[in-house]
Amino acid sequence: MKLNVGIVGLPNVGKSTIFNALTETAKAGVANYPFCTIDPNVGIVDLPDARLEKLAQIERSKRIVPATIEFVDIAGLVKGASKGEGLGNQFLSNIRNVSAIAHVVRCFEDSDVVHVEGSVNPVRDAEIIETELILADLQTVEKRLDKVIKPAKTGNKEAKFEVQVLEKAKKILEDLKPLRSFTDQFEEEEIDYMRKTIFPLTLKPVMYVANIDEEYLPEGEDNEYVKAIKEKAEKENAPVVVLCGKVEQELIEIPKEERGELLEAYGLSEPGLNKMIRTGFRLLDLITYFTAGEKEARAWTIKRGTKAPQAAGEIHSDFERGFIAAEVINYEDLIKAGSLQKAKEQGLLRIEGKDYIVQDGDVIHFRFNV
């Protein structure tokens, strides 16, 4: 499965506007009616990272290649999606294929934009979608249980293990609670089983994206809707990104050199989408390491906990197969030294072996022999 973030929400909350701004395209249709988006739109987005720019400067790199993250714009869900309402089965299937969820909630009033539920209430909206995902998971668990109960009773060890996990999951889902809030009740192998066998929707990490009016920028402090969704998110230990989809759309429609002035007018230090991209990266448990030289400065994406040979394999399979060692320096130490050459002269580069776990911000040169 690709590591990507699915953008979900009720119809007319600003999902497609935000997706278009993210990808600086008009791939996702934007209109004032439900199900404007039916087939999911996919966009590859650069990860904003000032470290890479600085690294390129000190190494005088001719080219900069940032890390990327994939976002998927999924059509708006409605109440009853788990029973097939509003093309629900198709939409739930699209969510099943993403690794994390960015849940856009409407925190703005606009009489010209119809709300599918008739009023603005982000907590209610979030709960509608969450309930549909829970009910869909419950159906999946019950179907799987029907298949494995009989062999479990005959003593099949694998089936007995499955029944044990599924019954635990079923109890949580029957209480209309998402599985991600109860991971402490499962062993690591049980969670791994669920992810690989039944692909639970409610086990996916979630962030909330509060779409506000421009008058509440930069952080929506006085917006009661934002306060309400933050309170819900805090109980779930989920991050909240506050942005104005309308302003984000305006930003991409003007030349890059003029965007700073617009950001300043709204009290913003950067586009809100930058925060959304970085939060999505963290939700996927990804980190970046860097390679740098005269030819290019590049950020490489790996899962947290990846060891040096596998990190090298992201560059080329030969690097992993013939891995000898990694010359590593922390980004901050490199910046203080002023260049890779000066860092070498000062003895700041470390030689790490096959068991080294790569850290976010490592600048690495791999030694290999094939």
Binding site as annotated, residues: 12-17
Tell me if 359 sits within 8 A of 306, measured CB to CB.
no
Taking the CA atoms of 63, 23, 242 and 9 in sequence, report the sign of the dihedral they define. Answer: negative
Q: How many CB atoms lie within 10 A of CB 331?
A: 20
**Residue list for the binding site for ATP:** 12-17
Which pair of structure tokens corresponds to residue 27?
């791939």
Cα separation, 108 vs 209, in Å, equals 12
